[in-house]
A and B are shown apart, each in its own frame.
Chain A
Amino acid sequence: MSVTKRGGVVVKQGGALRFLPASVVMRITACPPISRLPGTPKQLLGITHTGGEIVPVVGTDGESRHTPLLVCLYLGEPVGLLGCDVVSTGSFEVDLATEGGVMFAGALARTLDLTAVFASLQTNVRWEG
């Protein structure tokens, strides 16, 4: 029996719908105060305390800090994602033509590739003094 639905979060990032599986997203919180770390790349917004632990916060979109914080698991470690507008949570129909994509309100939401986000963070490092 094929899986036709997949649980997770549909977000809007840069005007496009993206999907984060429930296995990746730990929780969604209102954006807590973020402490900037000196000398870190601009895309690494800082660290914050949420859910009893300190997590690094990465900006996925350069603009909005008024979006909720998505605490995700990346390589077994919690990482905060900021800059995604959460559109919906729940179970969504899988789009079989797209790997990992789901359909939301008739539109395709591709999986947000966290690996690419963090790889971009590592390759575009511009250490600030």
Chain B
Amino acid sequence: MAEPREPKNRFFRLWRRGEGASKGAARSITEEGALWASHARAQESTTQASDAAERAVASTAKQRATLDAGTDEARALLARTEELQRQVGRLAEAFDRLNVVALNAGLEGARLGEVSGKPLSLVSDVVRSHGERGAEASREVARTLAECSREVGALGTRFDDARGHGADVTQNASVAAAAAGEAARALGDLGERLRRATGSDPETAQAIAQATEHARALVSALGTLSGRVPRTLLTNALRPMLEPLVRSLFDDDVDNKDKE
């Protein structure tokens, strides 16, 4: 039956060994951990870039649909404006004809003589006055409608331009999505080569890096307590936690020696 070993001595032996001979190995493990962390960040960024590019493509598709609807509405508005122009043109024509009727009434009034034709002349003047105002108002409305038509036409052109720019954005976002996909594949390949080159994997490297960090923190804390707390008290306090760790490390050493 093997003799029970002193856990305290083993722990400090390992600790000393870790401080001395294994410094290079620890640094290498830390570098591997950092490398895998960078790899993971690069993969995450690539995924985010790919998602953002896909979202951009989807957004531009929605924008295109909105612009199409806007263009249709502009065209409908243009058609209605042109119809209104035609109607106002007919209105102006009607006022012009009313003016002609009033002129003829005035002419007939003049033929009847100053006394007999007076009422007819008066009515003619009034009708002509209103007819001219109506015709002028109609022409003004027609001019305004013509300006509206031009502006709506310009709006349609701007919609077309915006649709062209949106198509450019879609194309560029598609290129970005493809590039992000290619970058993701390259990173996957890089990870595989890294795994083969280092013999580690991201999870193990991360766990080792975390364990190293925790070990450093423990060593730092022990260094702080050294000389202030009686060693017996410290050992008794740490034993329940450190014993499984020391046993595990020691057993690994024993296993390795057995294998050798």
A: residues with CB less than 8 A from B are: 5, 7-9, 22, 25, 27-30, 68, 86, 88-91
- Do residues B110 and A7 form an inter-chain contact, with CB atoms below 8 A? yes
Q: Which residues of B contact A88 (CB under 8 A)?
A: 106
> B109 in the interface, Cβ–Cβ < 8 Å?
yes
- Do residues A90 and B97 form an inter-chain contact, with CB atoms below 8 A? no
Proximity string of chain B (114-157) to chain A, C-beta cutoff 8 Å, 1 when within and 0 when not: 10010001001100000000000000000000000000000000
Q: Which residues of B contact A30 (CB under 8 A)?
A: 96-97, 100
Q: Which residues of A contact B113 (CB under 8 A)?
A: 7
**A-B residue pair count with CB separations less than 8 angstroms:** 50
Q: List 6 A-B contacts (CB under 8 A).
A: A7-B110, A7-B113, A22-B110, A89-B106, A89-B124, A91-B121
Bound CA span A125–B183, Å: 88
B100, B105, B110, B113: residue with the most chain A Cβ atoms closer than 10 Å: B110
Bound CA span A91–B96, Å: 22
- Do residues B114 and A22 form an inter-chain contact, with CB atoms below 8 A? no
Bound CA span A30–B109, Å: 19
Bound CA span A89–B215, Å: 115
Q: Beyond A5-B114, A22-B111, A91-B114, is A28–B103 a contact (Cβ under 8 Å)?
A: yes
B contacts with A, residue count (CB < 8 A): 17
Bound CA span A9–B102, Å: 12
B: residues with CB less than 8 A from A are: 96-97, 100, 103-107, 109-111, 113-114, 117, 121, 124-125
Bound CA span A2–B28, Å: 131
- Do residues A27 and B110 form an inter-chain contact, with CB atoms below 8 A? no
Q: Which residues of A contact B97 (CB under 8 A)?
A: 30
Nearest B residue (CB) for A9: B107
Interface of A is mostly: strand
Bound CA span A86–B96, Å: 12
Q: Beyond A5-B114, A7-B117, is A90–B109 a contact (Cβ under 8 Å)?
A: yes
- Do residues A90 and B104 form an inter-chain contact, with CB atoms below 8 A? no
A7, A8, A28, A88: residue with the most chain B Cβ atoms closer than 10 Å: A7
- Do residues A91 and B103 form an inter-chain contact, with CB atoms below 8 A? no
Partner pick for B103 among A5, A7, A89, CB 8 A cutoff: A89
Q: Which residues of B contact A29 (CB under 8 A)?
A: 100
- Do residues B100 and A89 form an inter-chain contact, with CB atoms below 8 A? no
Q: Which residues of A contact B96 (CB under 8 A)?
A: 30
- Do residues B110 and A28 form an inter-chain contact, with CB atoms below 8 A? no
Q: Which residues of B contact A89 (CB under 8 A)?
A: 103-107, 109-110, 124
- Do residues B114 and A68 form an inter-chain contact, with CB atoms below 8 A? no
Q: Which residues of A contact B103 (CB under 8 A)?
A: 9, 28, 68, 86, 89
